[in-house]
Amino acid sequence: MKRLLSGNEAVARGAWTAGAVVGSGYPGTPSTEIMEIFARYPGVYAEWAPNEKVALDVAIGAAYAGRRAFATMKHVGLNVAADSLFYAAMTGIEAGLVIVSADDPSMHSSQNEQDNRQYAKFVRIPCIDPADSQEAHDFAIAAFDLSERFDTPVLLRLTTRVCHTSTPVEVSEQRFVSSDPIKYPRNVAKYVMVPANARRRHGVIEHRIQEISQYAETSPLNRMEIRSSQLGIITGGIAYQYAREVFPEASILKLGLVYPLPAALIRNFASMVERLIVLEELDPFIEHQVRLLGVELYRGKQTLDTPKGIFPIVGELNAQIVRKAAIEAGLIEGEMLQTSPSFPMELPQRPPVLCPGCPHRGAFFVLSKLKVPVNGDIGCYTLGLTEPLNAIHTCGCMGASIGVAHGAAVAGDQERHVAVIGDSTFFHTGIPALINVVYNRSNVITIIMDNRVTGMTGHQDNPGTGKTLQGRDTTEIDIENVVRALGFTYVKTLNGYDVEGIEKTLKEWMKISDPAVLITREECALLPEARAKYVPLEVVEEKCNGCTMCFRVGCPAISKSEKLDPRYQRPLAVIDPSLCTGCEICAQVCPRDAILFRNQVLDKQEIDQ
């Protein structure tokens, strides 16, 4: 049966077909949909974990217990899970264990564009790199088989273009059913990595990777496509699609198993072509390994030694970029082809901004007024950096805000540092950092912006929402109770729209030397229950004098009117009712009471009727 599936949907389907019964992940673009789709299949357990390390530990535990399991995450999530990845590679497993890691070339929604194929080589585990949805489906199944065959975790590495592109996929309605679960292993030498055992296991995994190298020589995951002998291309993943489009006559060695490489197969392929190149996205991962085999690669017109032969080492490839590089290298002739549609005019710039009605806006408005250094984190609240708020000064990775602020404080920085973090990120890696603040007694003020959901990745539940991934009611973790239990004395929860209360609290806490935590709590304005409460506000033109105070909250729903204040000749404010949610932040900051509050708008509407 054929279905049109995205790469993410295909991986979920493949995992289900392969008999995976446990899936755990942390949402992160471009991988998020995998676990959401997997959760809908019958006979599976799927969950959102607080972070990627926990997710991988859960999958490892299931695999130790003899159940096929997998963990999903975006590429940077594998950094969080690296400790677990390494010990799992050492111990091996009882049933198939697959780690799905989605790289983000060009950083469409990430802070870096690391190439996670490197992790496979670092850890000594197989890495499989699909080129389309059919391969994402088939390779997911193959990954579980490979895992059990060689007693190893397997890295299924995706990229954005594969994750989000939909292609027809041949799927089976049959699902692999494993034998009855084993008794939980009591194999101390294999599963307890004290030094004496770990030393033995290191030798085991080195021998194992050699065996997998032999398997790679004849693996169906790798294949040769023989056409012209003038040009041969070694490629894998999404780059295969660009190779087929730009070099339709070239012979191709298509690698699905990109680590370890099939040395004999590569040498055989090289002997069949006059010129040999490697076409891959991001790092020269295959290219370096091929060179180490002593296989000569064509480097075009380059005279200097560069990290990567012909194609860019930075950013996401496409057919146009590949074609341009090929022309410059003398591989093909011709002019640059326009492969994307041209537009008669430039489109207006649309920089990212906090949504209308975002409950984070009030706190950022106050922080902007206070002009304090603010250490930010990954999530919607990163957008507090944009004009006119300009309220974020650092942002590194998940959970970094609190630690960075603490570091500045204990280094003697005289300014009072404020760390901001979201609810999901608090559960992800914020709690240990907050423990460090209260334990080592810095004066950091932390604002936990709790919008009742994991917002930026598309409204996934988290330990604070009271719902699991599969929709079951569960214990709702109260953030304030957790913070108090950590030992904080100064803790307060305020409504995210309470501008006056936030400002008053922060100013009071600036006068004390203790660490403190403010929780600003209000549901994301894009949640259905929030949408049901929208009441667009109105500007009273007779009271507005164009003072610009409401513009400083940075709400997309407020703009300058064409009408001018007769005295100062300044544009009046105007509210777009199609965007306004009625959060009232603008009404709170207006010094002339020129913006009606929700109740005033409703009273006015009642009178008008």
- Per-residue HEC secondary structure of 16-57 comes to HHCCCCEEEECCCCCCCHHHHHHCCCCCCEEEECCCHHHHHH
Task: Give the mean pLDDT of 309-317.
Answer: 93
Q: With CA atoms as reference, report the closest residue to 98 among 210, 18, 36, 203.
A: 18
Residue 107: pLDDT band (50, 70, 90) is: very high
According to the annotation, is 583 in a ligand binding site? yes
Q: In this structure, is the dihedral angle defined by the CA atoms of residues 523, 528, 529 and 531, taken in order, positive or negative?
A: positive
According to the annotation, is 544 in a ligand binding site? yes
Share of the chain above pLDDT 70, in %: 98
Q: Is residue 323 within 8 Å of 332, Cβ to Cβ?
A: yes
CA-CA distances (angstroms) from residue 284 to 82, 288, 311? 22, 6, 9
SS3 category, 435? helix
List strands edge to edge, sheet with 374-376. 394-395, 374-376, 418-422, 445-450, 516-521, 490-495
- Domains, the chain, in order of start with CATH, read 2-217 (3.40.50.970), 223-329 (3.40.50.920), 359-530 (3.40.50.970), 534-608 (3.30.70.20)
Q: Cis peptide leading into 185, omega within 30 of 0?
A: no
Residue 24 pairs with which residues in a beta bridge? 47, 71
pLDDT in tens, 344-382: 567 777 778 899 999 999 999 999 999 999 999 999 999
pLDDT value, residue 309? 83
Task: Give the mean pLDDT of 286-315.
Answer: 87
According to the annotation, is 580 in a ligand binding site? yes
pLDDT value, residue 307? 79
Q: Is residue 387 within 8 Å of 554, Cβ to Cβ?
A: yes
Task: Quote the mean pLDDT of the chain.
Answer: 94
Which segments of 384-468 are extended strands (E)?
394-395, 418-422, 445-450
Retrieve residue 70's tokens.
């997998």
pLDDT at 337 over 70: no
pLDDT at 340 over 60: no
SS3 category, 78? helix
- Cβ contacts of 485 within 8 Å, gap of 6 or more: none
According to the annotation, is 380 in a ligand binding site? no
Q: With CA atoms as reference, report the closest residue to 126 among 74, 187, 76, 85.
A: 85
SS3 category, 531? helix
Q: How far is CA 51 from the centre of its chain?
A: 12
